[in-house]
Amino acid sequence: MESEFRKSVTVLTSSTIAFIICFMIWMVFAVLGMPIKKQLQLNETEFGLLTAMPVLSGSLIRVPLGIWADRFGGRIVYFLLMLVCVPAVWLLEYAHTFGQFLWIALWLGLVGGSFSVGTPYVAKWFRKDRQGLAMGIFGAGNAGAALNKFLAPALIAAYGWKAVPRVYAIILLVITILFWFFSYPEPKAANSKQPTLKAQLMLMKNPQVLKYSQLYSVVFGGYVGISLWMVSYYVGEYKFDLTHAALLAACFSLPGGVLRAFGGWLSDKYGAYKVTWLVMWVCWLAFFVLSYPQTQMSIQTVSGHLDMHLGLNATLFTILLFIVGVALAIGKASVFKFISDEFPDDMGTVSGVVGLAGGLGGFLLPIMFGMLVDWTGVRSSSFMLMFGTVSISLIWMHFSLKNQRP
């Protein structure tokens, strides 16, 4: 028993560290995209496309990776995935054109599919009443987005942007090797049968899977989209330099990652529905305030004109963003608690499908943010879009999950 417990802790630790590095690389263009944008003279829409390309490939690969994890084992799939992405990260420094950056971004973005492999791999090492916490701890690897915002600006300031892919490729290779030596093949469940490919694919039509996909597209897609966009937002809206903008953006990314474990614990204790419902309302209120643009008003009074400025300063903006980061971290864990409760034998496949929906949300949002800014000229239009998506989710959740209300 002690040996199994030690193995489970080792697997959770090694998998989480590997996921932190994978997520750091997946979010690399949140910071690295800024000097590339300047070098290639990209507009906001092109910049949004560049930051979103890794999210696209990392999302599309999640379903096959989840299926392979269920069929062949999470450990081997996780290892091979990281190994395949090392050359892509290294080659990034040799790109010169926008097209080359996009193709390499697609390749290195495959590393983002690690979530749909690691989640079922880790969950199989823990009892059902502990799976929410275990998956939350693993999902805290989203903090790699914050790590990227600390590490990449320092490397760019000291050695130039081409140092980032070199250092990141070496880190990924080392972590890949360490993961293999500090992980174990997952335990086989008693009386378990390997699912057929047809049965796995049929899960994609399951109404429950579609519901959780929609919710995850908001909590995870929103987290990824905002993480990719906030450095650019701080630079454009509040005129910070790259280093300070990345530091402030980390105030969203860091709690949005590390507090996922807390969300898993809350979901184990109070249930997935209660926690997810509260998360959506917190996000709805915060996005409503964040949506308000910087406004200059001139009011005619009896004694002349009264000039007023309405809008969030950088401090209030960052506080609200921090609250959203906390809420989304908890929501990411609570949605996956639904999955572990209802699909314990098909977690790889279902997490792949749900992860695909979340990743596609993260892919589309930066592009839509850029298009809205180019179209309206209002940077807070990105939060107007998020307010609308959360509103739809609250309505959807109210009607589709009413049978799960306490």
Q: Amino acid letter at 71?
A: R
| Beta-bridge mates of residue 309 | 296
Give the DSSP per-residue string, 374-400.
HHH--TTHHHHHHHHHHHHHHHHHHHH
Contact 168, 28 (CB under 8 A): yes
Q: Which of 45-49, 87-91, 193-197, 313-317 has the lowest mean pLDDT?
A: 193-197
Give the DSSP per-residue string, 160-210.
-TTHHHHHHHHHHHHHHHHHHHT--PPPPPTT--PPPHHHHHHGGG-HHHH
Q: Where are the alpha helices (DSSP H) in 27-61?
A: 29-40, 44-60
How far is C-alpha 238 from the geometric centre of its chain's CA atoms? Answer: 24
Q: Is 335 exposed, middle or buried (0-12, 13-18, 19+ CB in 10 A)?
A: buried
Read off the tokens for 15: 């998998």
Rounded Cα distance between 69 and 342, Å, is 18
State the average pLDDT over residues 346-357.
Answer: 76
pLDDT digits 0-9 by tens, 209-260: 778 888 888 898 898 889 888 888 998 889 888 889 988 888 888 887 778 7
- % of the chain at pLDDT higher than 70: 92
Domain range annotation of the chain: 2-184+197-298+305-404
pLDDT digits 0-9 by tens, 259-286: 877 887 888 888 888 898 999 999 999 9
Average model confidence (pLDDT) across the chain: 85
Q: Is it the case that residue 387 has pLDDT exceeding 70?
A: yes
pLDDT classification of 356: cutoffs 50, 70, 90:
confident
pLDDT classification of 82: cutoffs 50, 70, 90:
very high
Q: Could you give phi then psi for residue 362, rounded to 5 degrees?
A: -65, -25
Place of tokens 């994978």: 22
pLDDT classification of 299: cutoffs 50, 70, 90:
confident
Residue 256 exposure: Cα atoms within 13 Å on the Cβ side: 29
Q: For domain 2-184+197-298+305-404, which architecture applies? A: Up-down Bundle (1.20)
Q: Is it the case that residue 94 has pLDDT exceeding 60?
A: yes
pLDDT classification of 2: cutoffs 50, 70, 90:
low
Q: Is it the case that residue 14 has pLDDT exceeding 90?
A: yes
* 98-105: Cβ within 8 A, 24+ apart: 98/40, 98/42, 98/46, 98/50, 101/36, 101/40, 101/50, 102/49, 102/50, 102/53, 105/29, 105/50, 105/53, 105/54, 105/57
Rounded Cα distance between 184 and 209, Å, is 29
State the average pLDDT over residues 203-207.
Answer: 68
Q: What's the pLDDT at 129?
A: 73
pTM of the model: 0.76
Read off the tokens for 324: 């959203």
Rounded Cα distance between 231 and 246, Å, is 5
Q: Is it the case that residue 350 has pLDDT exceeding 70?
A: yes
How many beta carbons lie within 10 A of that of residue 234, not counting itself?
A: 23
Contact 219, 358 (CB under 8 A): yes
Rounded Cα distance between 7 and 314, Å, is 45
Rounded Cα distance between 397 and 405, Å, is 10
